[in-house]
Amino acid sequence: MNKKHSLTSLSLMIFILLTNLLHGQNAEVCKDRRLRVWEQMKPDSVMILRSRGTFGRFHTESQDGNFYYLAGIDEPDAFLVFQKMRFRRFISPPPKSSDPEMGKTVLFVSPREERRADWDALPLGLKGAEELGFPDVRPSAEFEHYFDELLLGGVDILYMDIDRSRRVSEPFTADEQILRRAREKGADFKLTPPGEILTSMGRIRDASEIRMLRKAIDITAEAQLAAMQALRPGMYEYQLQAVIEYVYTLNGSRRVAFPCIIGSGKNSCILHWMLNSKQMNAGEVVVVDIGAQHNFYSADITRILPVNGKFSPRQREVYEIVLAANQAAIAMVAPGVDFALISRKAADMIGEGLVKLGLIEDKREYRRYYFHGLGHAIGLRVGTGGGLGKLEPGMVLTIEPGIYIREEGLGVRIEDDVLVTETGHEVLSRRVPKTIDEIERLMQKKGLDTALHLLKE
């Protein structure tokens, strides 16, 4: 082997190693997931997953969680095709190989064009994808023609999330044009969301996924702590958001799991307040519902903070009801427990608390002040995995009871991220204080100095 070839091989090995480290996904784990997907697909079916974004564009798009879960790469302009066909009429048949994935999946990626290196980040390329363990890799420019051939090759079921035009007056999207063209040529297939297969697979998180979720949750915890110490009367909601996202970036999170929800005063009663435009005043509470993302895995933690650093007596009595429901619900989390029972327990406690507050006469009327579910799964996206049902080890979910008194401009929601273990549960967000004394004590400590940004206009 000559010296030049040795250096090239070494460079490629280093590139592959860094790619795996940066993406946080094990190639063999992803391969096993792909084979499991193929096994669950029905005969004469095809599944199409794609990444988002395009090289050389000046705006970014959030990656598709399913694509990343199965491909393990953060690569724009890429398509992952699963095919389970009894009668093959595909163009460019793949070469013979002993790889068990051959003939089942095809990855389309952008080729590396060295001339673009001065303008854009270079893609993984065909060779890079092959070295990561994909047996059949093709240029993304060939995908549309390949897709046309697939649809005309006897497909009964197409698992695909398609982009649709939003109004009748709008032109057909590229997806709709491809499907329409195929049907005009005689293709007859049923369109089904990939989630029919992938949702059940994503209920249980493996060790590598739990590790990435821990990191996302730890980063979010740091942001919550920073928010507690930086908050002061006179700040705008968006300024607290800036502190939070600053901490995300410093700790290695390049994306938010969802837009920050920073709702003070009357906005604390709006579940998904994301405008973050109001000035926060002494005497109000602010809902801080945030989540960082790490390698596309998303955290989701909510805390309630008194803007002036001290809860009022009224705020305290409402807060304590929600905190008790949060703690009781978490205590019930364990394998085999139906999540509906946990939800019912929390709702009963909220209802009883509302009766004591004099807001309702019958605890069954709690929906007037608590009008959302107790929690949801988290993973590659917030709220992933559909209904929780009976809990199993490896599930990661949120517990987030709340009370929203619109007429008082007082909303309280406390949300934690919880892992179901073999013997019970682990609160992954436990680093973030949630008792009144802990929060008030931390808010007295000096945090990020935002004084220069609070100058009056």
| 207 and 325 share one domain | yes
Identify the CA nearest to 297 among candidates 207, 404, 173, 422: 207
* 46: pLDDT strictly greater than 90: yes
| 40 and 167 share one domain | yes
Write out the DSSP string of 194-257: THHHHHHHTTS--HHHHHHHHHHHHHHHHHHHHHHHH--TT-BHHHHHHHHHHHHHHTT--EES
| 127 and 210 share one domain | no
Domain final residue, candidates 181, 200, 219: 200
Please compute the mean of the pLDDT values over residues 197-223 and round it to a whole number: 93
CATH number for the domain that contains residue 53: 3.40.350.10
**pLDDT-derived band at 117, boundaries 50, 70, 90:** low
Q: What is the pLDDT of residue 360?
A: 97
| 445 and 297 share one domain | yes
Q: What is the pLDDT of residue 25?
A: 67
| 267 and 359 share one domain | yes
| 232 and 251 share one domain | yes
Domain final residue, candidates 171, 200, 229: 200
Mean model confidence pLDDT for the chain: 87
Higher pLDDT, 446 or 114: 446
**pLDDT-derived band at 112, boundaries 50, 70, 90:** confident
Q: Is residue 18 part of a domain?
A: no
| 213 and 189 share one domain | no
The one-letter code for the residue type at 400 is E
Q: Is residue 396 part of a domain?
A: yes
Show the domain range for 101: 23-200
Pairwise CA distance, residues 370 & 355, whole Å: 13
Q: What is the pLDDT of residue 54?
A: 55
Q: What is the pLDDT of residue 164?
A: 84
Please compute the mean of the pLDDT values over residues 328-351 and round it to a whole number: 98
Q: What is the pLDDT of residue 5?
A: 45
Q: Is residue 268 part of a domain?
A: yes
pLDDT in tens, 121-175: 778 899 999 999 899 999 999 998 898 888 888 899 999 998 888 777 778 887 8
Domain final residue, candidates 200, 234, 256: 200
Please compute the mean of the pLDDT values over residues 26-30 and round it to a whole number: 89
Please compute the mean of the pLDDT values over residues 53-80 and round it to a whole number: 73
203-207, 229-233, 447-451: least confidently modelled range: 447-451
Q: What is the pLDDT of residue 19?
A: 41
CATH number for the domain that contains residue 293: 3.90.230.10
* 75: pLDDT strictly greater than 60: yes
Pairwise CA distance, residues 347 & 421, whole Å: 24
Q: What is the pLDDT of residue 246?
A: 97
| 185 and 223 share one domain | no
Please compute the mean of the pLDDT values over residues 183-199 and round it to a whole number: 91
| 37 and 173 share one domain | yes
Count CA atoms closer than 13 A to 316's CA, side-chain side.
9
Per the CB < 8 A criterion, the answer to whether 392 and 425 are in contact is no
Which bin fits 66, alpha (ψ -120 to 50), beta or left (φ > 0)?
Answer: alpha
Please compute the mean of the pLDDT values over residues 436-440 and round it to a whole number: 98
Domain tally, the chain: 2
* 453: pLDDT strictly greater than 80: no
Pairwise CA distance, residues 37 & 33, whole Å: 6
| 190 and 238 share one domain | no
Q: What is the pLDDT of residue 17?
A: 40
